[in-house]
Structure 1
């Protein structure tokens, strides 16, 4: 049990821990205490969330999520830059109902059990600090290295101030009786560690490591990777010898059947692979589609493969049917890792078959050594 940090204590704790931060206007008086008639505190832990969106500061501080969930939605906001924003000093709408069994474990700094509504509930907004970390939460959007480093320092700063252990740090998924999944997603890296999947267990371990050192401590960093040497660029210009039918409701790779130019020699006849890593490339894919009804859509996306295994899907581009043929130019800009190949996939969302009348891929490819 502890009184919430004052603005001066927030500043002191964050600076000591090496947290880069900025202060949003009005944060020292922002909160839901007066509106709810409830006073924030005593505090028992730090609850961690992801935003499930981009550029969320306005919603967190000023707009809220809905009339039923007005702002502020957290005490702090952590964008991908790694510079923390102080949003509110009072009660915030971030935690909702926390399962009593989970909440008691946070207070006791013991292993947090799966939240059980049957154990009773506690209003987490009364007793938990809340941070919203910018991430889509789709399992693919990556937390940056700077963002995660600040995230660890932030939780450690709270724990060090209150003389808590890392067990006082929890994720919303560990307390929610509504089945929340935040936070989650891949992390670019931390210290000497490369890319890894976020877990609260790992965050607590990193916070615990910080708390074992003075607040001024920083983790050892990975050595600078060797400089990549690029050769090229080589010119790639591929197309179709003739059009083909694209059936509805299934992804189908474009098989390039005509080699106009392939300086790298990576494109065998009738292959759907157009680039092989490690390499970088920039260029475009020009498409002409026949018989696509007006307003109907064909989706286009690049995909990365390791042998016959699909590894990564890239953002979708849409070709929309217009009177006559439908045309589109899809940009191609990418670094392709070693052992991976790149293909183009099309999805016909129209009810009937259409014709891929032309597909011309033009790119400059730099090979990595």
Structure 2
């Protein structure tokens, strides 16, 4: 599980992955957060809209299900229209067994279990414009956009392709999206495999979730030493092998040194700042 990306970090991740982004008014603050939490998040959920001309509909929703109904709508031309950010009415309740499999990036259960987990709080949700009928194909540009959006979020959080599921895999109530999710995960995995590798002699990024309070590892000590060497150490003693608030404060100083601001300088390592820190291999 992870803290959701800030809106700015999210859109940067999409653009870095080559996503064609269309930003709609106030998308950063249009959400359902007043109805409950968003986060920690554990994955990405894909849907199809069951209709056309879907951007305005997904932004506004309807009486029984107010919008936004997703974070972004993927249109036929492969553009990703950002219409909201935060908790959205896209997933509803779903299977606890599926959620545990997503977190472990293990094989999904053959059939979803009872609807017991609030998916709106735990997933980034995207609607792909399609009726869901056999006569409505998904253009290659649209499938490419779904692949890129999913990979961008996984890359930013240090997740693999097993963190991406379809609505139909979340609950028995839904049939979407009407394409092969194993096939889409294969595409995402291939794209994630093109991630630039760390320079020889340096530790690979262990993922943001590694840096939880109380984590004990020699890698934590190595990170602290590099932060101190960069003039970003904010320790009264140490650094030591346990990830503490002092480590997070020091890493935030490193992020600010790189030019990050606001939520992007929260002290939790991300791929880009990690690569620049160059933590030596143990």
In the superposition, the TM-score normalised over structure 1's length comes to 0.52
Deviations 1:104-142 (A, max 9, x none): 111111111134444x61010010010000001012201
Structure 2: gaps spanning 5 or more residues: 197-282
- Deviation, 1:170, is 0.1
Q: How many residues align?
A: 196
Task: Identify the residue that residue 67 of structure 1 maps to in structure 2.
Answer: 63
Deviations 1:176-219 (A, max 9, x none): 142x11001xxxxxxxxxxxxx300000000000000037xxxx
Structure 1: gaps spanning 5 or more residues: 185-197, 216-369
Task: Identify the residue that residue 245 of structure 2 maps to in structure 1.
Answer: none
Deviations 1:133-157 (A, max 9, x none): 0001012201111111111011000
Task: Identify the residue that residue 107 of structure 1 maps to in structure 2.
Answer: 103
Q: Highest Rg: 1 or 2?
A: 1
Higher RCO (C-alpha under 8 Å, 6+ residues apart): 2
* More helix, by proportion: 2
Task: Identify the residue that residue 92 of structure 1 maps to in structure 2.
Answer: 88
* Residues 337-356 of structure 1: pairs in structure 2 closer than 5 A: none
Q: Is the 8 A contact 1:97 1:177 kept in 2?
A: no
* Residues 24-43 of structure 1: pairs in structure 2 closer than 5 A: 24-34=24-34, 36=35, 38-43=36-41
Question: What is the root-mean-square deviation in Å for CA atoms of aligned residues?
Answer: 1.3
Q: Aligned with 1:159: secondary structure?
A: helix
Task: Identify the residue that residue 125 of structure 1 maps to in structure 2.
Answer: 120
Task: Identify the residue that residue 212 of structure 1 maps to in structure 2.
Answer: 193
Task: Identify the residue that residue 288 of structure 1 maps to in structure 2.
Answer: none
Deviations 1:243-275 (A, max 9, x none): xxxxxxxxxxxxxxxxxxxxxxxxxxxxxxxxx
In structure 1, what is the Cα distance between the partners aligned to 2:170 and 2:7? 27
In structure 1, what is the Cα distance between the partners aligned to 2:103 and 2:135? 32
In structure 2, what is the Cα distance between the partners aligned to 1:147 and 1:117? 30
1:160 matched to 2:141: no
Task: Identify the residue that residue 16 of structure 1 maps to in structure 2.
Answer: 16
* More strand, by proportion: 1
In the superposition, the TM-score normalised over structure 2's length comes to 0.67
In structure 2, what is the Cα distance between the partners aligned to 1:29 and 1:142? 33
Paired residue for 2:175, among 181, 188, 199?
Answer: 181
In structure 1, what is the Cα distance between the partners aligned to 2:17 and 2:112? 35
Q: Is the 8 A contact 2:74 2:127 kept in 1?
A: yes
- Deviation, 1:88, is 1.0
